[in-house]
A and B are shown apart, each in its own frame.
Chain A
Amino acid sequence: MSVASAPTGRVGPPPALPEDEPDPPPPSRLHRRQGRIGLVFASPWVIGFFVLYALPMAASLWFSFTDFNLTSAEPTSFVGLDNWRRLFGDPEVINSAWVTVKFGVLSLPFTILVPLGFAYLLTSKNLWGRSFFRTLFYLPSVIPFVAAVLVFNGMLNSQTGWANRALGAVGIPGPNWLNSEVWIYPTLTLIALWGVGNAMIIFIAGMNSVPEDLYDAAAVDGAGSLAMFRHVTIPLISPVLFYNIVVALIGLFQYFLVPFVLKNGSGDPNGSTFFYSMYFYRTLFRLQNMGYAATLAWMLFIAGVVVTGVLFWSAKYWVHYEFGERS
């Protein structure tokens, strides 16, 4: 246990992170006192969990069975499964969920593979000025998202934007990035690529923690760099790959800012940017229909639990923790 850590007398390099401690030993008076002190320190978060997470979640579920409305003077009444029945027959729900799924399927591979590729490039021993390039590649991620959306809105303007001017210069007619139902998803994906810095840093940390001798051994076995990437790097960074996929999925479920700022919440062109989150927002704040909004939120939560559940279940087939990497 951690008590056994050698008394070095000075603060050296940080030791490897200790494992989570096992269940506490049988209670003694000292331990009970310890437990009380620990709980007192942890109490802000424990209280916060109940006030900001547990109770609102329960209340949200309760709201979904009522016609709760902040503005109407009539008392709230219990409506049973009305909201849920409405949800399953609501064409707006089906359309906006479909928009979210379409965009997710297109953009998720890019928002995972592009930072993976960046990380591979930025950990290359052949790259001069690695830390300089890391700064450059991370830089778009510190730009406020709203500003980033506005920059792309100008950059991809089909008349005056630089993207189409560059394409035109090499003889390719540029597409109507912002106002075509087909091109809007690639456009949103491009904008999303400006937010991959954190995923990239996590990939870099993962790649740096792969022991060098594994590559040496693979080289002796005659592996080329592609085989090394496929059979050494990928399995060893599979935990961070998994983490990045989970984070990207959670982000997709609540994807709101970019379409809202880009199209002022209009859903243009022709409803193709009317994401599930926007329908939720409109139900809640324009229509002030709290009961139905809570139903929409819970539906999203259930979908999120199912999708992440499947992902966690799949993890045992492709995520390898047995290498005992420290990060």
Chain B
Amino acid sequence: MSSLTSTVERLQSSGEPTRRFGDTDGGIRKILAAGLVTMVATGIAIVYLSPLAYMGATALKTEAMIQDFRAPLYPAAPGQVAYDGEELDLYEVSLPDGSTANLALLQPGRQASMYVDPDDLEAAPIEWEGNWRQLEPAYTFSPQTDNFSAAWEQMDFLVLLRNTVAIAGLGMIGTLIASTLVAYGLSRFQMPFKRTIFIVLVATIILPRFVTLVPTYALFFKIGWVGTWLPLIIPHFFGNAYNVFLLRQYFLTLPKDLDEAAAIDGAGPLRTLWSVLLPQARPALVAVGIFHFFYAWNDFFEPLVYLSTRRDLQPIAVGLQVFNTLFDTSPHLIQAGALLALAIPLVIFFFAQRVFLKGIDLSGVSK
């Protein structure tokens, strides 16, 4: 009975067979609901992303613009006009006829001041009665793009970029090779302790890394790896639980008959992996590669620990933090530096959105 009513309702809401006059109300209500929900989402998005706008605007300001409370939010400086070899400040002046004009202050006075019209400097100065100190300065848009080159140079951004790309790239190679091999072993072969291996693998995901850090640091210190990239790269050549998990889940979705056919044709396991599974697993491999890149770009603690004495080898995350401690009185340079640091990840995100927004389907995390 209930399924019947729901079927009837669905027919009615889909409109076609039983359309009556009243049904247009439903359509209007639907549009109204959609408009409302979309507006709410837009509002939340604006608030949620407003710090990005702050960063973009501040990165283009001078320090004086940041401190100036009367200035608009966008990078703007009080306007000036060259007149007779002098720089005159522009003010918003209300004229007797009710309109407002931007005029340049020529001769300040207590009761009345003399102004010139910036659009017509040849004309005679205008006298305006009132206290010029109460006038709003007329701001003009003036982005300080030099901030970026200043931040770029002060941070040694090219060196940071080279370090980050090298650390991320080498680690990515390591984790791709190792995680693929391990995932292949766990997804395609019967083996002793398979369940144990799998459970331990997942358990390492929730293990706080501090508990292994002290001996690991001591070991790397003894073998002379502290102050090099090796502690940030070599561990990835043993694979990583997240990546193994993601690749294993993906391999399990690939039909086994293809590798069985390859085995009958005499291909060994390694060859089967290389020429049968890997070409089909491209999306999962790309996902692992991108996730590792973002991991390495963001990783802060380990580079801080292992490269604290080597400014020349540090990646962007640490370099940006050091820059912040050195330039904390120049917020415009800090924001410009932060923008430089996020530009590349942001571009990659826009090109590979689907990996982030759909990647989770691959990993089946809820299991």
Contacts and interface: CB of A to CB of B under 8 A. Distances in A.
A41 B181 contact: yes
Contact of B186 (A42, A124, A155): A42
B210 A11 contact: no
Interface residues of A, number: 121
A264 B300 CA distance: 13
B54 A155 contact: yes
Contact of B208 (A56, A131, A300): A300
Contacts of A8: 255
Contacts of B221: 70
A39 B191 contact: yes
Nearest to B207: A53
B360 interface: yes
A20 B305 CA distance: 39
Interface of A: 2-3, 5, 7-8, 11, 14-15, 17-18, 20-21, 23-25, 31, 34-49, 51-53, 55-57, 59-60, 63, 68, 70, 118, 121-122, 124, 126-129, 131, 133-140, 142-148, 150-155, 157, 159-162, 165, 193-194, 197-198, 201-202, 205-206, 216-217, 219-221, 239-240, 243, 246-247, 250, 253-254, 256-257, 260-261, 264, 277, 280, 284-285, 290, 293-294, 296-298, 300-301, 304, 308, 325, 327
Which of B49, B211, B320: most chain A Cβ within 10 A?
A: B211
B210 A42 contact: no
19 contacts: A20-B198, A46-B197, A56-B219, A138-B356, A142-B294, A142-B342, A154-B335, A155-B55, A162-B53, A193-B48, A217-B6, A219-B6, A220-B5, A243-B365, A261-B300, A277-B210, A290-B218, A297-B210, A304-B208
Nearest to A46: B197
Contacts, number: 320
Contacts of B324: 146, 150, 153, 261, 264
B54 A161 contact: yes
B366 A243 contact: yes
B191 A24 contact: yes
B181 A44 contact: yes
Given A57-B211, A70-B218, A150-B334, A201 B356 contact: yes
Given A202-B365, A264-B324, A297-B214, 7 more contacts: A49-B201, A146-B300, A154-B55, A155-B50, A247-B206, A260-B321, A300-B211
Given A20-B198, A44-B181, A220-B6, A121 B37 contact: yes
Which 10 interchain pairs have the tightest Cβ spacing? A48-B238, A38-B189, A41-B185, A38-B191, A59-B215, A14-B253, A42-B185, A56-B212, A147-B338, A126-B37
Nearest to B198: A20
A147 B320 contact: yes
Classify the secondary structure of B's interface with A. helix
A250 B208 contact: yes
A55 B216 CA distance: 9
A55 B349 contact: no
Contacts of B194: 21, 24, 38
A239 B338 CA distance: 36
A327 B366 contact: yes
Given A151-B338, A290-B214, A240 B366 contact: yes
Interface residues of B, number: 112
B217 to A, nearest CB: 7
A147 B342 contact: yes
B178 interface: yes
Nearest to A145: B298
Given A45-B201, A137-B48, A51 B238 contact: yes
Given A41-B185, A45-B239, A68 B218 contact: yes
A13 to B, nearest CB: 9
A7 B190 contact: no
B208 A63 contact: no
A146 B213 contact: no
Contact of A39 (B185, B200, B308, B366): B185
A319 B125 CA distance: 79
A43 B82 CA distance: 75
Nearest to A114: B48
Given A20-B198, A53-B207, A201-B360, A151 B341 contact: no
B123 to A, nearest CB: 38
A38 B188 contact: yes
Given A52-B238, A145-B300, A150-B335, A294 B208 contact: no
Nearest to B56: A151
A124 to B, nearest CB: 5
